Amino acid sequence: MKKLICLILIIGCSNHETNNRKGFDTRNVILITLDGVRWEEVFSGADPNIINNKKLVSDIVKTNETYWDDNIDVRRKKLMPFVWSTIYHNGQIYGNKLKQSNMKLTNPYFFSYPGYNELLTGFNDDSVNSNNKKYNPNTNVLEFMNNQDGFKNKVAAFASWDVFDWIINNERNSFTINSGAYPLNNSSLSVKQKWMNSFIAELPYPGYERGVRWDVFTYEYAFEYLKLNKPRLLYIAFDETDEFAHDTKYDKYLYAIKRLDSYIENLWLWIQSQDYYKNKTTMIITTDHGRGKYLNDKWGSHGASVSNAQNVWAAIIGPDTPSKGEMVDSKTIYTSQIAATMAHLLGYDYKTNRKPGAIIKEMLSN
């Protein structure tokens, strides 16, 4: 009898933790950002105005062999094969201005901290107007979900840029936040995580002065955490694309995009192989800001003075998202709507210290 009662309690706790209050099949969400990746590359592949520029591309022949094709559809698939195969056929992709599918920022600054604040909190805050290491006063969707039933200690964030400790506010929040050159401080670590911890602070990163580690370490830390701890809301923020763009190394920027696409594919394939996650997980991929168009050998800039930098994009795949592929002639959506959409998919009405953007209904099956 005691064994039966224990079994009933275990089943009851399990159902309580995984049932979706809004009736969605989504039980888990993975949010991934690719810092400063332009909508132009996502939807058109390598830029014909840049790929043959000797000042921006170190090996023009190899870069063309790897990324170029006269057909835009082929070209973009060469750059992001997972996005333009699996997500294209089974999810939705927003932001192709050439096909009247616009996605924009609501903040007027068009650089990282304000962009990530908008994404994670659901609104622009004019006091968040620099990339300085200043603790974010606003409640974000990660901490909101961490305080909901079934999500305590099931939320985690991994980022290449160390300013995320301030953006997400690790002073106020106790869930796992790991970024930059900081070792992962967690009660249980995999062998690989312990190994990375032993040298993570000593590596000479190209963006070290800006607090950026190699994306591969962010990927490995996050993937190991996913396998070991099974979070229900996981955020992974990659950064090398922005670093290479600022350094005007277009070939390396393209390489970083393709490599990140492969990381995302690996994560998705693993998710779909696990009973805990398979057909119960929604993945959202987006960026924090756009950047300027090619002009007189200058490329890579963004900010308030760069008008094109407010244009962004997003891709989504999951059990509750209709398979519409590339969105065409769709109404404009905004980065500020992502937070509420994530919470809604997980069964909750997102609340923060200001009014957040509305859910993106087109991403939902009901």
- pLDDT tens for each residue of 155-181: 999 999 999 999 999 999 999 999 999
The mean pLDDT value of the chain amounts to: 93
Tokens in use for 286? Answer: 């987006």
pLDDT tens for residues 258-298? 999 999 999 999 999 999 999 999 999 999 999 988 776 67
> Looking only at Cα atoms, what is the longest distance across the chain?
79
Indicate the DSSP class of residue 148. S
198 HSE (CA, 13 A, CB side) = 7
Q: What is the mean pLDDT of residues 200-223?
A: 90
d(Cα 249, Cα 268) in Å, to the nearest integer? 29
Comparing 17-21, 36-40, 72-76, 145-149, the range with the smallest average pLDDT is: 17-21
Strand partners, 92: 316, 325
pLDDT of residue 263: 98
pLDDT of residue 326: 98
Task: Strands of the chain (E only): list them.
Answer: 28-34, 92-94, 101-104, 155-159, 176-179, 233-238, 281-286, 314-317, 325-326, 330-334
d(Cα 31, Cα 120) in Å, to the nearest integer? 10
d(Cα 159, Cα 162) in Å, to the nearest integer? 7
Sorted by sequence, the CB contacts under 8 Å of residue 269 that are 6+ apart come out as none
Q: What is the mean pLDDT of residues 299-312?
A: 92
pLDDT of residue 220: 98
pLDDT tens for residues 81-139? 999 999 999 999 999 999 999 999 999 999 999 999 999 999 999 999 999 999 999 99
Task: Identify the band that residue 6 occupies on the pLDDT scale cut at 50, 70 and 90.
Answer: very low
Q: Are 138 and 128 in contact (CB under 8 A)?
A: yes
**For residue 221, pLDDT beyond 90:** yes
Q: Are 258 and 250 in contact (CB under 8 A)?
A: no
Look at residue 61 and give its three-state secondary structure: helix
Q: Are 358 and 337 in contact (CB under 8 A)?
A: yes
Q: What is the mean pLDDT of residues 250-254?
A: 97
pTM of the predicted model, to two decimals?
0.95
* CA dihedral over 260, 205, 220, 313, signed as positive or negative: negative
pLDDT of residue 18: 62
pLDDT of residue 14: 44
Q: What is the mean pLDDT of residues 290-312?
A: 87
Tokens in use for 313? Answer: 């994009």
pLDDT of residue 232: 98
Q: Are 231 and 156 in contact (CB under 8 A)?
A: yes
Q: Are 98 and 328 in contact (CB under 8 A)?
A: no
pLDDT of residue 297: 65
Percent above pLDDT 90 for the chain: 89
Task: Identify the band that residue 12 occupies on the pLDDT scale cut at 50, 70 and 90.
Answer: very low
The strand pair at 92-94 and 314-317 is best described as: antiparallel
d(Cα 204, Cα 2) in Å, to the nearest integer? 58
pLDDT of residue 164: 98
pLDDT tens for residues 20-69? 999 999 999 999 999 999 999 999 999 999 999 999 999 999 999 999 99
